[in-house]
Amino acid sequence: MDLLKVENLRMYFETIRGYVKAVDDVTFTVSTKESLGLAGESGCGKTSTALSILRLLPSNGRIVGGSITLDGEEVAHMSEKEVREKIRWKKASMIFQGAMNALHPTYTIGTQIAEAILKHEDVNKKDALERAGKLLELVGLEAAKVDRYPHELSGGMKQRAVTAMALACNPQLVIADEPTTALDVIVQAQVLRVMKELQSRLDLSWILITHDLSMIAETCTTCAIMYAGKIAEYGDVVHIFKEPLHPYTQKLITAFPSVLGPKMELSSISGFPPDLLNPPPGCRFHPRCPHAMDICRKKEPVMTEGRKSQHVACHLY
Amino acid sequence: MKKDTTVEVNNLVKHFDIKLGFFKTLTTREAPHVHAVDGVSFEIKRGEIFGLVGESGCGKTTTGKCLIRLIEPTYGEVFFKGVDVLALAREQDVRKLRRNMQIIFQDPYESLNPRMSIYDIVAEPLHIQKVVEREDELSNRVSQALEDLDLIPPEEFLYRFPHELSGGQRQRVAIARAFVLRPEFLVADEPVSMLDASIRSEVLKLLLSLQQRFHTSFLYITHDIALARHMCDRIGVMYLGKIVEKGTTDDVVQKPLHPYTEALIAAVPVPDPTARRIEVVIKGEVPSAINPPSGCRFHTRCPYAMDVCRKKEPPLIELDGDRHVACWLRGDQKDASS
């Protein structure tokens, strides 16, 4: 069953120089227990998409079209009060990029987790703190850590604590935005394992936002590759990594070195992502695409099913 | 010192003092130190890329900076083509040396002066080293350096400022600045970790092509062993200020001998969803470098830790084929410990 359905979502930022089309006609679904990896370079709209789902956009960001259906409810045009009461924390929560460094230094970990529970549910403080302890156990920390202050925890522990916080009100969907960027490889592997375990134990759905495709290959079941505010390719993770269709995906996947297998030359893409104030006409990737044809410069490609469970927006298919 | 060795490092140590309050200094007998680098030795041959791999705080950047004397090491020896780098006392001698030893820093958003034009940034080393006298020759050298890094046409970049460039272009300017003197040795401190994937590989390719053209020796510092595998001829794996394993890249990556190297390799995500992975067995995080664990510094996290590991520090022993490892599990060390 589809838990989250994003259809033709458009989210623009209003600036003095015009509209920045951060998210432009994005469509994807996340079903129960699915983990979707949202990948792309910086500025491609991955975080903006996530913020739209939770309606956490900055004041100049506006959803100008499309719909977001979460567990049967339309989120895109809900009132702020309704979003706060029904959606955030309870249905969907988010682990922000660098959240572990945004913990309040003068409150204990337990108080900070309990705060979310107290705000959203009718429980007393003692029960909320007890639940905070249970949540910490869930992510592999001792329950006694509720009395600790952030500076007493290591980076990996803090990341686990904010993961526990995201689970405070039993959401069905958790969005993790670059959850491991500040961590070392070994700790990163530990945190990713915790996330995977939680998913199967709590029947969660995840959206993992990252620029690191290797991380998606390790943890996700489906994958969407974004480029300049649009989804270039979307589908099953094995298909996308084994037989990528979009020229951008093909290049991006082989741009990551691997410790396993034969040593291969890394591919590179000349040029850089376009300015979203004035995106290029036609396909937004055409100035950097090795297969660009005449039609690519003129007409925008539509998302088509290139192969079974693999959608691609490219004129080649 | 062998003939083809560009850089030789022997037992390099850097301890940083910790500032204590007044009363603490009265009660503490010995001032605590951060053991950033603790007895590191390696050599880099001419035209070779030597990688230093390890997690943050293992001392890899400090090592790199000590080599070109941006940080004064506590003790140890560094030779550059037979010259004792640490013995140079006069500033002009150090400066002369830097003509052949340059560094590329990690973050191109911080390493370029925002008030200088690209021309001034790349020309500055030439000015300081006084290698060219005529102004037209200077601008030729600058243009050439930019062209070498695919900043084409150079005229389009010369009079721009760093904020007008993208991250990838900035890092290429930083590399051009380091290469404009045609140094024989270059320290590259995570030169691509701040760049996006699609741009990263392009910068790496440029570095490799320059290295091949000018036979530059590199110290390539990175936390990413997959990247080190791609770039380096030989690598040294560092943990808490020490090299725990050293050898040719293929040997180390394909047959790691130290449990820490094993864990580092197992922990790197692989861009292949069907790849079979080894589980990471290492628990916990890197301990503090102020009071490093006794014996083998890795014993607190090592799945194979034995009694001897807690008590005695394993020396870095040499195995066949230029392979070095510091672990009680390997080689004849079991006998040595008894």
Burial of A74 per CB tally in 10 Å (0-12, 13-18, 19+): exposed
A130 pLDDT higher than 80 = yes
Question: In chain A, which residue's Cα lies nearest the Cα of B272?
Answer: A217
Starting at the edge strand found earlier in the chain, the sheet holding B5-17 runs B33-45, B5-17, B75-80, B83-84
Please give the torsion angle defined by the CA atoms of residues A195, A199, A202 and A207, in that order, rounded to the nearest 10 degrees.
100
User: In sequence order, which residues have a C-beta less than 8 Å from that of residue B144 and are 6 or more positions away?
Assistant: B154
**B188-204 residues labelled b (16+ CB within 10 A) or e (exposed):** bbbbbebbbbbbbbbbb
pLDDT at B36: 92
Mean pLDDT computed over B93-120 = 92
B338 pLDDT higher than 60 = no
Instruction: Count how many residues are written for chain B.
Output: 338
Q: Tell me the pLDDT tens digit for each residue of B33-81.
A: 899 999 999 999 999 999 999 988 899 999 999 999 999 999 999 999 9
Question: In chain B, which residue's Cα lies nearest the Cα of A217?
Answer: B273
CB B6 within 8 A of CB B187: no
pLDDT category, A307, cuts 50, 70, 90? Answer: confident
Q: Which of residues 135-194 of A touch B (CB under 8 A)?
A: 154-156, 184-190, 192-193
User: In sequence order, which residues have a C-beta less than 8 Å from that of residue A242 and are 6 or more positions away?
Assistant: B273, B274
**Residues of A whose CB is below 8 A from B198:** 41, 251-252, 255, 268-269
Q: What is the C-alpha to C-alpha distance for residues B149 and B147, in angstroms, rounded to an integer? A: 5
Please state, for a pLDDT cut of 70, what percent of chain A lies above it. 100
Q: Please count the helices (runs of H) and the strands (runs of E) in chain B.
A: 13, 12
Q: Tell me the pLDDT tens digit for each residue of B242-268.
A: 999 999 999 999 999 999 999 999 888
Question: In chain A, which residue's Cα lies nearest the Cα of B152?
Answer: A271
Q: Tell me the pLDDT tens digit for each residue of B196-219.
A: 888 888 899 999 999 999 999 999
**Residues of B whose CB is below 8 A from A270:** 202
* A106 φψ region: left (φ > 0), alpha (ψ -120 to 50), beta (else): alpha
Please give the torsion angle defined by the CA atoms of residues B315, B316, B319 and B323, in that order, rounded to the nearest 10 degrees.
170
pLDDT at A265: 83
**Residues of A whose CB is below 8 A from B225:** 185, 259
Please state, for a pLDDT cut of 70, what percent of chain B lies above it. 96
Q: For residue B258, which phi and psi values (nearest 5 degrees)?
A: -90, 140
Mean pLDDT computed over B107-123 = 93
Both tokens assigned to B268: 């790197």
Which candidate from A192, A220, A255 shows the least CB-CB separation from B198?
A255
Distances (CA, A) of A71 to A31, A264, B291, B293: 10, 44, 52, 51
Please state, for a pLDDT cut of 90, what percent of chain A lies above it. 67
Instruction: Please answer yes or no on whether B285 and A156 come within 8 Å at the CB atom.
Output: yes
3 state SS of B220: strand
Residue B44, beta-bridge partner list? B7
Largest CA distance in chain A: 66
Instruction: Please answer yes or no on whether A41 and B196 come within 8 Å at the CB atom.
Output: yes
Which candidate from B197, B229, B280 shows the least CB-CB separation from A255?
B197
> A240 to chain B, minimum CA–CA distance in Å?
10
DSSP letter, residue B288? P
**Testing the interface with A: which of B201, B261, B264, B276 to mutate, by most A Cβ within 10 A?**
B201
DSSP secondary structure letters along A258-289: -SSSS--PPP---S-PPPTTSPPSSSTTGGG-
pLDDT at B276: 67
3 state SS of A200: helix
Q: For residue B34, which phi and psi values (nearest 5 degrees)?
A: -90, 120
Q: Which of residues 283-312 of B touch A (CB under 8 A)?
A: 283, 285-286
User: In sequence order, which residues have a C-beta less than 8 Å from that of residue A79 and are 6 or more positions away?
Assistant: none
Q: Tell me the pLDDT tens digit for each residue of A29-70.
A: 999 999 999 998 888 999 999 999 999 999 999 999 999 999
Question: Is there a cis peptide before residue B153, judged by omega within 30 degrees of 0?
Answer: yes
**Residues of B whose CB is below 8 A from A185:** 55, 223-225, 264, 267-268
Residue A24, beta-bridge partner list? A10
Give the angle A243-A245-A251 at the CA atoms, nearest 5°: 85
Of all helices (H) and strands (E), which one includes residue A232?
A: strand A230-236
Q: Which of residues 189-208 of B touch A (CB under 8 A)?
A: 196-202, 204-205
Instruction: Please answer yes or no on whether A256 and B55 come within 8 Å at the CB atom.
Output: no
Which candidate from B199, B223, B274 shows the least CB-CB separation from A185?
B223
Which candidate from A154, A184, A218 shows the least CB-CB separation from B55?
A184
Which candidate from B166, B227, B273 shows the least CB-CB separation from A217?
B273
Q: Which residue has the higher pLDDT, A60 or B19?
A: A60
Residue whose C-alpha is closest to residue A209's, from A3, A52, A18, A80 = A52
Distances (CA, A) of A27 to A147, A283, A312, B289: 43, 17, 12, 49
**Residues of B whose CB is below 8 A from A263:** 229-230
Which candidate from B205, B229, B280 shows the least CB-CB separation from A186?
B280
Give the angle A262-A264-A266 at the CA atoms, nearest 5°: 150
Instruction: Please answer yes or no on whether B200 and A255 come within 8 Å at the CB atom.
Output: yes
pLDDT at B278: 66
pLDDT at B166: 86
Which candidate from A189, A212, A241 shows the least CB-CB separation from B267?
A189
> A312 to chain B, minimum CA–CA distance in Å?
19
pLDDT at B336: 45
CB B216 within 8 A of CB B205: no
Q: Which residue has the higher pLDDT, B3 or A95?
A: A95
Give the angle A161-A166-A167 at the CA atoms, nearest 5°: 95
Q: Tell me the pLDDT tens digit for each residue of A219-229.
A: 999 999 999 99
Question: In chain A, which residue's Cα lies nearest the Cα of B55?
Answer: A184
B296 pLDDT higher than 50 = yes
User: In sequence order, which residues have a C-beta less than 8 Å from that of residue B255 and are 6 or more positions away?
Assistant: none
Which candidate from A42, A185, A241 shows the least CB-CB separation from B271?
A241
Q: How many CB pairs under 8 A join A and B?
A: 122
Q: Tell me the pLDDT tens digit for each residue of A80-120.
A: 999 998 999 999 999 998 888 889 999 999 999 999 999 99
Which candidate from A188, A241, A267 shows the least CB-CB separation from B267?
A188
**Testing the interface with B: which of A160, A186, A222, A240 to mutate, by most B Cβ within 10 A?**
A186
Instruction: Please answer yes or no on whether A217 and B270 come within 8 Å at the CB atom.
Output: yes
Residue whose C-alpha is closest to residue A29's, from A55, A6, A45 = A6
